[in-house]
């Protein structure tokens, strides 16, 4: 197993943060400082971060669903001291947000103690669907504009992949995308002449926001976690 993945599946940090930790020279393998995140390690290797041994045992995979309010940032820590999604759920284990929502975007965000699962759920190659409900400016949104969103629109970082789009009312649409570009839904709607006024994520993969109140969280059931793992491309780190 690659060193960065080893650290992520051990719960040290997310895959990306684990790579940065390795490159910073904070990780040793059998007493030797390693700076290559792709270095292979096995079960008999002694891995340590900042001198502390890393235990790679089987632990319970935990996933929380949170209905994020506006004004909360989707990171583990915020240098500006703003509230984060991680502070809104119990701190019985180290948690990582699964992807991000803009500070003014509300709705479903997941948090997990397994960095590898978080990576799979957010990496574009796994194409995990995310559904948003957007209240737009300049209603009504018409069929040609809906079709443009379905076909893909040209943004400054390239053309978007086809999306599933339906109109809920004159000023509200529901859109499902499989990409994870920054502010993608907002930029797509703006590209067809309807800037977003309010945006809420209502589904992530097989999970629905449902009637979970704003600012509240719930721990996913074992069946829901397994469904999520299946959407993330099958088995992750082999956690029970």
Task: Kindly report the CATH number assigned to the domain that includes residue 195.
Answer: 3.30.70.1560
Q: Which domain holds residue 26?
A: 3-53
Name the residue among 67, 64, 126, 127 with its Cα closest to residue 98. 64
The pLDDT value recorded for residue 235 is 47
Which of the residues are catalytic? 102
Residue 237 falls inside a structural domain: no
133 and 200 fall within a common domain:
yes
**Does residue 97 sit within a domain?**
yes
Q: Is residue 58 in some structural domain?
A: no
If asked whether residues 11 and 70 sit together in one domain, one would say: no
Cβ 97 vs Cβ 111: under 8 Å: yes
Torsion sign across C-alpha atoms 54, 126, 223, 163: positive
Both 200 and 138 in one domain: the answer is yes
How far is CA 200 from each of CA 143, 185, 214, rounded to the nearest angstrom?
22, 10, 11
pLDDT of 58 reads 52
Residue 110 lies in a domain: yes
Q: How many domains does the chain have?
A: 3
Residue 86 lies in a domain: yes
Are both 14 and 71 inside the same structural domain?
no
35, 137: one domain: no
pLDDT for the residue numbered 5 = 83
Same domain, 133 and 196: yes
Considering the domain boundaries, does residue 48 fall inside one? yes
For residue 112, what are its two tokens? Answer: 């997990």
Domain end marker among 11, 34, 53 = 53
In a domain, 236, yes or no: no
Domain match, 110 and 139 both: no
Return contacts of 21-25, CB within 8 angstroms, 24+ apart.
21/49
Length reported for the chain: 240
Global pTM reads 0.74
- The answer to whether 34 and 3 have CB atoms below 8 angstroms apart is yes
Task: Per residue of the chain (240 residues), give pLDDT as tens.
Answer: 888 888 877 777 777 888 899 999 999 988 899 999 998 887 778 888 888 888 765 556 789 999 999 999 998 888 898 999 999 998 667 788 998 999 999 999 999 887 778 887 887 777 789 999 999 999 999 999 999 999 999 999 999 999 999 999 999 999 999 988 889 999 999 999 999 999 999 999 889 999 999 999 999 998 998 888 887 765 454 443
Buried b (16+ CB within 10 A) or exposed e, 134-171: bbbeeeebeeebbebbeeebeeeeeebeebebebeeeb
C-alpha to C-alpha distance for 184 and 160, rounded to whole angstroms? 9
Give the integer Cα–Cα distance in Å for 168 and 82: 33
Q: Where is 190: in which H helix or E strand?
A: helix 184-191
The CATH number that applies at residue 119 is 3.30.70.580
């Amino acid at each position: 197993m690659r060193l960065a993945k080893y650290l992520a599946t051990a719960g040290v940090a997310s895959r990306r943060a684990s790579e940065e930790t390795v490159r910073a020279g904070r990780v040793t393998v059998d007493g030797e400082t390693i700076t290559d995140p792709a270095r292979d390690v096995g079960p008999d290797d002694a891995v340590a971060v900042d001198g502390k041994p890393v235990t790679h045992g089987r632990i319970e995979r935990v996933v929380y669903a949170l209905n994020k309010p506006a004004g909360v940032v989707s990171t583990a820590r915020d240098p500006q001291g703003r509230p984060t999604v991680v502070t809104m759920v119990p701190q019985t284990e180290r948690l990582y947000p699964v992807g991000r929502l803009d500070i003014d975007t509300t709705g479903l965000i997941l948090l997990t103690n397994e960095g590898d699962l978080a990576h799979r759920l957010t990496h574009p190659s796994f194409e995990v669907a995310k559904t948003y409900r957007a209240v737009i400016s300049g209603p009504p949104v018409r069929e040609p504009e809906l079709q443009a969103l379905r076909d893909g629109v040209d943004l400054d970082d390239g053309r978007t992949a086809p999306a599933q789009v339906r109109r809920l009312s004159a000023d509200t649409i529901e859109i499902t995308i499989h990409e994870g570009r920054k502010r993608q839904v907002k930029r797509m709607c703006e590209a067809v002449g309807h800037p977003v006024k309010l945006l809420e994520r209502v589904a992530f993969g097989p999970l629905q926001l449902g009637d979970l109140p704003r600012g509240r969280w719930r721990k996913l059931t074992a069946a829901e976690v397994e469904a999520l793992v299946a959407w993330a491309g099958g088995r992750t780190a082999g956690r029970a």
